[in-house]
Amino acid sequence: MLMASKLTPTIITRLILPSCLLIFLYSSLLPFYTAPNSRSSDSKNQILAPPQCKLFKGRWVFDPNHKPMYNSTCPFHRNSWNCIKNQRENMGRINSWKWVPEQCDLNRIDPARFLDLMRNKNIGFVGDSLNENFLVSFLCILRVADADAKKWKRKGAWRGAYFPKFNVTVAYHRAVLLAKYEWEPQESELSDKDGVRGTYRVDIDIPADDWANIADFYDVLVFNTGHWWGYDKFPKEKPLVFFKGGKPIHPLEMLDGFKVVVESMVAHIEKAFPKKTLKFWRLQSPRHFHGGDWNQNGSCLFDNPLEELQLDLWFDPSNNGVNKEARQLNHLIESALKGTSIRTLDLTHMSEFRADAHPAIWLGKKDAVSVWGQDCMHWCLPGVPDTWVDILTQLIGYSLETG
Ligand SMILES: *[C@@H]1O[C@H](CO)[C@@H](O)[C@H](O)[C@H]1NC(C)=O
Ligand SMILES: *[C@@H]1O[C@H](CO)[C@@H](O)[C@H](O)[C@H]1NC(C)=O
Ligand SMILES: *[C@@H]1O[C@H](CO)[C@@H](O)[C@H](O)[C@H]1NC(C)=O
């Protein structure tokens, strides 16, 4: 008895309170889950995902029944990523891996249902070629539901498509740094000084022209930048110099420049785009150069995804590997996005596994590898970006259904 009376308060806090909390949580969440069922047609439920669902954490499971939705004949392909046409080895195997999130189901996109949900709406991608890679996958998948899809290039878009059956436009605006930047050659007398041949002027508070006039056009936007922020693209002889309000700011190292530009572009998006626009920021797509960087014979001739235990070795910045920048940049992006209305699309971790899924030496051009090295940065299509599409569309579907 004595023991029991002593235990009672502990039992209450350990067992009864949590159960009450659980019951409360269930009862408050249940209407939330069931409401869409009663409101909308059965067909739309497939794209719902509970909000606390962690789509970004999980593992790749081999499933021979998993097949891509398009092939090398999709008219939106970019030649160097069209791995079936370029006869990359293992394309069947590459596309037989299925992403299985830890705590919830990832449904494959149903292109017709998704386009129906998006009727009279538009989706835009803004950023570098990794967002273009994402877009090409998206267009080829959506085209399955509308064979009359037409190329679309307006309002500064680099490439895109219009789906007439649904009155939907999906397009990509190329803006590799997001901010406006311009080459300014050095005056001839000074050209010898420090070997500097000119500078790239970056106006950190001005968006690149390519996406300066799209604020009212898109209902969903996916931003990214990161893959151009290196000394291979902007070496010491042609450095980036940063301006704000038209005035130069003190010189910044590459990562510091990246940080101020991302912060300033995030602030611009928050200010210039309507509240109702659904905004995502896609985190870095990891590269898989093995044995050297892209210009040092780095290679990615892998037959299988990496094991979970290998990931830190490849990508943790403290190991100083060739591909460390993805996680480095992600830290800066995530802190810039904190407290904003822009949602993070964290596709980094799931993609880190996929050393096997890049175009590598199968680039569709004879001398490409000797000139540019292997491509261990972009992704084969069909391939990993198809799973990015599943994730993005599930999140869009959930947001549109729940408002
Ligand atoms: C490729 O896909 C198209 C449909 O988009 C289909 O008509 C064609 O038969 C496919 N080709 C091959 C070789 O599978
Ligand atoms: C197509 O969608 C746009 C919005 O993107 C809308 O303004 C237009 O009225 C739609 N056209 C038709 C025929 O519904
Ligand atoms: C890359 O490989 C080629 C041919 O095997 C060789 O000539 C060259 O020195 C290598 N470059 C580097 C940076 O290792």
Ligand 2 atom nearest to CA at 122: 5
**Residues near ligand 1 (Cβ within 6 A):** 71, 73
User: Does residue 43 carry a pLDDT above 90?
Assistant: no
pLDDT of 1 reads 37
Which of 186, 199, 132, 120 has its CA nearest to residue 160? 132
Beta-carbon contacts of residue 208 (< 8 Å; ≥ 6 apart): 175, 177, 178, 179, 180, 181
> In this structure, is residue 14 part of a structural domain?
no
Distance 6 CA to ligand 1 centre (A): 73
Pairing of strands 122-127, 198-207: unpaired
**Is the residue at 1 inside a domain?**
no
Max mean pLDDT range (151-165, 179-193, 363-377)? 151-165
Over the stretch 260-314, which tens digit does the pLDDT of each residue have?
Answer: 999 999 999 999 999 999 999 999 999 999 999 999 999 999 999 999 999 999 9
In a domain, 303, yes or no: yes
Burial zone of 293 (CB within 10 Å; 0-12 exposed, 13-18 middle, 19+ buried): middle
Q: Give the binding-site residues of ligand 3, using a 6 Å CB cut-off.
A: 296-297
Q: Which residue has the tokens 């950190």?
A: 204
State the ligand closest to the CA atom of 70. Answer: 1
Ligand 1 center to residue 375 CA distance, Å? 26
Judge whether residue 37 has pLDDT over 70.
no
Q: How confident is the model at residue 41 (pLDDT cuts 50, 70, 90)?
A: very low
CATH number assigned to the domain comprising residue 93: 3.40.50.1110
162 CA from centroid of ligand 1 (Å)? 21
Q: Which residues line ligand 2 (CB under 6 A)?
A: 120, 122, 167
393 falls in which pLDDT band (50, 70, 90)? very high
Sign of CA dihedral 287, 354, 347, 321: negative
Task: Give kind and range of the element (H or E) at residue 20.
Answer: helix 17-39
pLDDT at 36 > cutoff 70:
no
C-beta of residue 195 within 8 angstroms of C-beta of residue 236? yes
Which run of H or of E encompasses 222?
strand 220-223
Stretch 184-198: mean pLDDT: 72
pLDDT at 326: 97
Mean pLDDT of 195-220: 95
Question: What is the per-residue pLDDT for 401?
Answer: 83
Residue 365 pLDDT: 92
Which of the ligands is closest to the CA of residue 370? Answer: 3
Q: Which of 33-42, 75-84, 150-159 has the lowest mean pLDDT?
A: 33-42
User: Strand locations in 212-304, DSSP E?
Assistant: 220-223, 240-244, 247-248, 278-282
Give the span between the Cα atoms of 122 and 256, in whole angstroms.
34
Q: Establish if 10 belongs to a structural domain.
A: no
Counting from 1 in the atom list of ligand 1, the atom nearest the Cα of 74 is 5
In a domain, 46, yes or no: no
From 162, 163, 167, give the residue whose CB has the most ligand 2 atoms within 8 Å, as the site to mutate. Answer: 167
- The dihedral region occupied by 374, where left means phi > 0, alpha psi between -120 and 50, and beta the remainder, is beta
Q: What one-character DSSP code corresponds to residue 44?
A: G
Whether 188 is in a domain gets the answer: yes
Mean pLDDT value across residues 73-92: 97
| Arithmetic mean of pLDDT, 107-122 | 98
Q: Which ligand sits nearest to residue 69's alpha carbon? A: 1
Evaluate if residue 13 carries a pLDDT over 90: no
Mutate to test the pocket of ligand 3, among 232, 297, 370 (most ligand atoms within 8 A of CB): 297
The atom of ligand 3 lying closest to the CA of 297 is 1
Q: pLDDT band at residue 366, thresholds of 50, 70 and 90?
A: confident
Q: Separation of 267 CA from ligand 2 center, angstroms?
A: 29
pLDDT at residue 7 greater than cutoff 90: no
**Which residues are paired to 360 by β-bridges?**
375
Q: Is it the case that residue 195 has pLDDT exceeding 80?
A: no
Write down the H helix ranges in 291-383.
311-315, 325-337, 348-352, 368-372
| Proximal ligand: closest to the CA of 294 | 3
Distance 117 CA to ligand 2 centre (A): 14
- Cα of 133 to ligand 1 centre, how many Å? 21
- The predicted pLDDT at position 191 comes to 53
Ligand nearest, relative to CA of residue 216: 2
Query: Amino acid letter at 95?
Result: N
pLDDT at 186: 80
SS3 132: helix
> CA 152, CA 142: separation in Å to the nearest integer?
14
The ligand that comes nearest to the alpha carbon of residue 72 is 1
**Average confidence score pLDDT of the chain:** 89
Measured from the Cα of 72, ligand 1's closest atom is 1
Q: What confidence tier does 51 reach under pLDDT thresholds 50, 70, 90? A: low
Using the predicted structure, report yes or no on whether residue 24 has a pLDDT greater than 90: no
Distances (CA, A) of 329 to 130, 140, 150, 282: 15, 29, 35, 12
In a domain, 174, yes or no: yes
Residues 243-257: tens digit of each pLDDT = 999 999 999 999 999
Count of structural domains within the chain: 1
Half-sphere CA count of 7, side-chain side, radius 13 A: 7
Question: Which residue's alpha carbon is at the smallest distance from atom 13 of ligand 2?
Answer: 167
Mean predicted confidence (pLDDT) in 200-215: 97
Count Cα atoms within 13 angstroms, Cβ side, for 100.
9
- Residue whose CA lies nearest to ligand 3 atom number 14: 296
pLDDT of 21 > 70? The answer is no
Could you tell me if residue 180 is inside a domain? Answer: yes
Q: Which residue segment(s) compose the domain that 83 sits in?
A: 57-402
Measure 397 CA to ligand 2 centroid, in angstroms: 20
Q: Of all protein residues, whose CA lies closest to atom 10 belonging to ligand 1? A: 71
Q: Tell which wins on pLDDT, 49 or 187.
A: 187
